[in-house]
Amino acid sequence: MFPGTANTGLAQNTSYKVVLPFYLYAGISFLVATLLLIFSTPAFLQHYFHPHTLAITHVMALGWGTMMILGASHQLVPVLIEGKLYSNVLAYLSFVFAAVGIPLLVTGFYKFDFGWAAQSGAILVNAAILFYLINIGVSMAKSKHENVHAVFVFTATLWLIITTIVGLFLIYNFTYNILSKDSLSYLPLHAHLGIIGWFLLLVIGVGSRLIPLFLISKYNNNKLLWWIFALINFALISFIILFLYIKITVLYFAPLLAIAAAIIMFAYYSYRAFYERIRRKVDYQVKISLLSVFMMLLPLFFLLIIILWLLISTSNYSVILTYGFCIFFGWITAIIFGMTFKTLPFIVWNKVYHDKAGLGKTPNPKDLFSDKIFVGMGIFYLTGFVLFAIGILVSNLIILKIASMLLLVTAILYNGNVWKAITHKPKKL
Amino acid sequence: MNEITNDEAKLELALGALKFVDDPEIGLNVVDLGLIYQIDFDENNKKLFCSHSLTTQFCPMGETINSGITNALEQTFPDYEVETKITFQPPWNSSKISEEGREFLNM
């Protein structure tokens, strides 16, 4: 008799059929966002509450960032909790509701028409997030292996649904005046619930697991992660209280400092994981993911300027626009670029070669996409990103046009490489 | 009592077969990574037991590596029933990587 045959600690992979639609949808959304950038460059010389800016922001936040994260987390949460996803049906429902809701909502913003299309779009997006929340919550409840990373993901999802519910209220407020003030007044609240509560919390929760994993690093520091978790939530809750009840600008430094501390701690965590890595050669995907960690500091810098500006004058629109641009086209886009080509090839590889593993030499997941296209994409992206940010700050339409074209090329290269990976055919062993 | 053997020739054959099983993320085989902890042959019942680890408990490719090991051993020893077990006792660490593996990883 052999000693204990049951496998321990084995995460059960979610079917690729659940995950791939999210990846494809996100890629197309990024392409749409860059196309909209080209047609809407004059909007970046005006107030941030512009229909086209709102439309692009929501394509980026929901279609690109959120859809990519939803897709990846359906795959990653079972890994984090060492269990399995509760329901594929809920995942499909989440995809379908969001996939229909996002274009309806975005069209509403673009036309600045908050009638039935925008309203039903917002309802569908909320339903999609609710399905996702239930799916993740039940998956975690059924698993006995909760950990700090899973708590980050679940809390981030709670903040996401709060964000989308506030968004729903703001949409209805345009037509029915259900809130005490106009929707523009609540925009900073809605935006920061999403940016900090959803994106930052989730990226740190998942990144703190994936960065050491991909670097083959044994570094782990749960205590530090719990501190980061506490600081981010403190920042958000204090920001909400300050925003709704105590309107003293100087006090906004408290949440800002808490977020800055959390980001610096995460940068330190990433650095230690990098320093203690076993694999010396770091691939481009991990490099751009690590770069995104430092790109978190850029919006923080602009946020500091915004608060300082508010103390001496009124808000400066171009700095606020640059701040938003650095978040969605900078930090979030960079992390998605890196993580797409670390996770997607694995998902496809698993689909194609799972049964063939051990029966002969198979290609590695990194062989499923083109490294050259990835590097080219990175160069176009960084040039386009820097130029566009400069274009907003100096209010120059020509720079904005050139930069938006570079970002469009970036999106085409990204989608081309995603397509190459997804359509990979098995090699004969 | 079952007769558990570990004769050199069979062990070499098993390890040779497992050298075709890579950790897909690292691109290095499971033998040089030091993931194989134990291989036993039960000659009475024609069973082959292999216990192995993963580089991390959260390895998303754990299932695939496990089935790769099973496939490779089943193909090499068709007369044996193969049983595999993933263990983290003791947890894997970089000291288990072979000289060839260290060279591959530029360690």
Ordered per-residue pLDDT tens for chain B, 107 residues: 345 566 778 888 999 999 988 888 788 899 999 999 999 888 888 899 999 998 877 777 888 889 899 999 999 999 899 999 988 888 888 888 988 888 888 77
Could you say which residues from 218 to 247 on chain A have a Cβ atom under 8 Å away from some Cβ of chain B?
218
pLDDT of A354 reads 79
Instruction: Sheet containing B81-86: give its strands across.
Output: B4-5, B36-42, B47-52, B81-86
| A229 in a structural domain | yes
- If pLDDT is split at 50, 70 and 90, which confidence band does A55 have? very high
Is pLDDT of A272 > 90?
A: yes
Task: Suggest the residue from A277, A278, A347, A369 to mutate for an interface test with chain B (most B CBs closer than 10 A).
Answer: A278
| B105 in a structural domain | no
- If pLDDT is split at 50, 70 and 90, which confidence band does A2 have? very low
pLDDT of B4 reads 59
- A215 contacts chain B (CB < 8 A): no
Q: Output the domain CATH number for residue A116.
A: 1.20.210.10
Q: Name the residue range of residue B42's domain.
A: 4-92
- What's the total number of domains in chain A? 1
| A87 in a structural domain | yes
Q: Is A213 in Cβ contact with B63 (below 8 Å)?
A: no
| B101 in a structural domain | no
Tell me which chain A residues have a C-beta less than 8 angstroms from the C-beta of B2.
1
Q: Is B75 in Cβ contact with A11 (below 8 Å)?
A: no
For all residues of chain A together, what is the average pLDDT?
89
- What's the total number of domains in chain B? 1
- If pLDDT is split at 50, 70 and 90, which confidence band does A312 have? confident
Cα distances from A396 to residues A37, A54, A91, A402, B8, in angstroms, run 14, 20, 43, 10, 74
First to last CA, chain A: 35
| B28 in a structural domain | yes
- Collapsing DSSP to helix, strand or coil, A279 comes out as coil
pLDDT of A315 reads 67
Q: Are A121 and A110 in contact (CB under 8 A)?
A: no
Is pLDDT of A307 > 60?
A: yes
| B86 in a structural domain | yes
Which residue of chain B comes nearest to A364, CA vs CA? B24
Residues A276-309: b if buried by 16+ CB within 10 A, e if exposed: ebbbeeebbbbebbbbbbebbebbbebbeebbee
**C-alpha distance from B14 to closest chain A C-alpha (Å):** 12
ipTM of the complex in this document = 0.76
| B75 in a structural domain | yes
Mean pLDDT of A20-32: 96
| B99 in a structural domain | no
- B72 contacts chain A (CB < 8 A): yes
Q: Is B68 in Cβ contact with A357 (below 8 Å)?
A: yes
Tell me which chain B residues have a C-beta less than 8 angstroms from the C-beta of A353.
64
| A6 in a structural domain | no
- A5 contacts chain B (CB < 8 A): yes
pLDDT of B1 reads 39
Measure the CA angle with vertex A248, ends A246 and A251; round to 5°: 95
Q: Dihedrals φ, ψ of A204, to 5°?
A: -70, -40
Is pLDDT of A344 > 70?
A: yes
- B19 contacts chain A (CB < 8 A): no
Portion of chain A with pLDDT greater than 90, in percent? 58
| A41 in a structural domain | yes
pLDDT of A9 reads 52
Tell me which chain A residues have a C-beta less than 8 angstroms from the C-beta of B106.
280-281
Write the pLDDT tens digit of every residue in A39-49: 999 988 888 77
Q: Name the residue range of residue A180's domain.
A: 16-351+361-422
The C-alpha R_g of chain A, in whole angstroms, comes to: 21
User: DSSP assignment of A180-196, as one string?
Assistant: SS-HHHHHHHHHHIIII
| A389 in a structural domain | yes
| A1 in a structural domain | no
User: DSSP assignment of B42-75, as one string?
Assistant: ETTTTEEEEEE--SSTT-TTHHHHHHHHHHHHHH
Tell me which chain A residues have a C-beta less than 8 angstroms from the C-beta of B60.
11, 13, 75-76, 79, 213, 346
**Stronger pLDDT, A286 or A369, i.e. the higher one:** A369
Q: If you search the block for the tokens 């660490």, which residue do you land on? A: B93
Task: Suggest the residue from A279, A286, A348 to mutate for an interface test with chain B (most B CBs closer than 10 A).
Answer: A279
| B34 in a structural domain | yes
Give the whole-angstrom CA distance, residue A126 versus residue A165: 7
pLDDT of B6 reads 67
- If pLDDT is split at 50, 70 and 90, which confidence band does A429 have? low
Write the pLDDT tens digit of every residue in A398-415: 999 999 999 999 999 999
Tell me which chain B residues have a C-beta less than 8 angstroms from the C-beta of A8.
86-88
pLDDT of B8 reads 79
| B98 in a structural domain | no
**Nearest CA-CA partner of A143 in A11, A5, A4, A7:** A11
Mean pLDDT of A4-33: 79
Rounded to 10 deg, the angle between the A397-422 and A16-39 helix axes is 160
Give the whole-angstrom CA distance, residue A74 versus residue A55: 26
> Which segment of A239-253, A363-377, B2-16, B25-39 scores lowest on mean pLDDT?
B2-16
pLDDT of B3 reads 55
**Nearest CA-CA partner of A412 in A12, A101, A38:** A38
Mean pLDDT of A109-118: 92
Q: Output the domain CATH number for residue B50.
A: 3.30.300.130
Q: If you search the block for the tokens 């970046």, which residue do you land on? A: A44
| A2 in a structural domain | no
Portion of chain A with pLDDT greater than 70, in percent? 96
Write the pLDDT tens digit of every residue in A133-176: 999 999 888 877 768 998 999 999 999 999 999 999 999 998 88
pLDDT of B57 reads 75
